[in-house]
C-alpha cells in the first residue's frame, strides 16, 4: 500500500506544480487584457467631437449612426452619400448640426420587426475611451431611439469586452482630431 501511495504522489505532484505555474502565469495575463467597458458609454463623433451615448451592442454586427436627409451622388466616378447629423451634445446640451459627405462603402439589408430595409454604410471616426476608431457605420434615422450610435461586433472586436452590468466606465479622452 505504501508503494502505491508513493507512486500516486509522484504522478500528481508534478501535475499540481504545473497547474500552479499555469494559474500564476494566467494572472499576469489579466494585466495585459483590454479594459472592460459598459453596455453604454460616452463617445465622441469626429471630427465635430460631439459627445453622445454609444450603445455597445453585441447583437448588432455592423455599427450604426444617426443620420437624416441621406442623398446618394457620384463623385470622381465613385458612389458617395451626403447626410445630416443632428445631435444633442450630452456635455453641453447644445444641438450640433452638420452636413457630411462620405464615400459609400456598401449597402446592407437590415431586417427588423418592421421588415427589411437597405442602408448605406460609410467610414466614420469615433472616439471611445482613449482610442480613435475609423469604422464602418450604417446610416439610419435614429431620432426615436435612445442611443444615436450603436457599436456593433465588428468594432467591438477591436474595442474589447463588454460588461452588461456596467455603464459609463470611461470618458472619451482622444487627442484632438479634426480630420
Same domain, 86 and 13: no
Same domain, 153 and 118: yes
pLDDT at 32: 52
More confident residue, 170 or 48: 170
What tens digit of pLDDT does each residue of 100-156 get? Answer: 999 999 999 988 777 888 999 999 999 999 999 999 999 999 988 889 999 999 999
DSSP state of 34: P
Q: With a cut of 50, say whether residue 25 has pLDDT above it.
A: no
CATH of the domain at 124: 2.40.70.10
177 lies in some domain: no
139 lies in some domain: yes
- pTM for the complete prediction? 0.76
Name residues whose C-beta falls within 8 Å of residue 61's C-beta, 6 or more positions apart in sequence. 152, 153, 154
pLDDT at 9: 52
**Number of domain units in the chain:** 2
Q: For CA atoms 172, 173, 178, 179, give the dihedral sign.
A: negative
Same domain, 3 and 59: no
Same domain, 73 and 109: yes
Rounded distance between C-alpha atoms, residue 127 and residue 8, angstroms: 57
Please give the residue range of the domain that contains residue 22: 1-33
Q: How far is CA 109 from the centre of its chain?
A: 20
Q: Cell match 452619400: residue?
A: 81
Rounded distance between C-alpha atoms, residue 152 and residue 174, angstroms: 20
Amino acid at each position: 500500500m505504501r508503494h502505491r501511495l508513493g507512486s500516486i504522489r509522484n504522478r500528481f505532484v508534478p501535475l499540481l506544480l504545473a497547474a500552479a505555474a499555469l494559474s500564476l502565469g494566467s494572472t499576469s495575463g489579466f494585466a495585459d487584457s483590454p479594459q472592460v467597458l459598459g453596455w453604454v458609454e460616452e463617445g465622441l463623433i469626429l471630427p465635430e467631437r460631439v459627445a453622445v451615448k454609444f450603445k455597445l451592442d453585441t447583437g448588432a454586427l455592423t455599427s450604426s449612426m444617426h443620420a437624416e436627409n441621406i442623398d446618394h451622388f457620384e463623385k470622381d466616378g465613385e458612389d458617395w452619400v451626403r447626410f445630416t447629423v443632428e445631435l444633442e451634445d450630452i456635455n453641453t446640451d447644445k444641438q450640433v448640426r452638420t452636413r457630411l459627405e462620405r464615400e459609400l462603402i456598401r449597402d446592407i439589408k437590415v431586417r427588423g420587426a418592421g421588415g427589411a430595409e437597405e442602408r448605406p454604410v460609410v467610414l466614420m471616426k469615433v472616439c471611445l475611451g482613449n482610442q480613435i476608431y475609423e469604422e464602418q457605420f450604417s446610416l439610419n434615422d435614429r431620432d426615436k431611439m435612445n442611443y444615436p450610435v450603436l457599436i456593433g461586433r465588428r468594432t467591438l472586436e477591436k474595442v474589447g469586452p463588454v460588461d452588461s452590468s456596467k455603464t459609463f466606465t470611461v470618458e472619451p479622452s482622444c487627442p484632438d482630431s479634426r480630420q
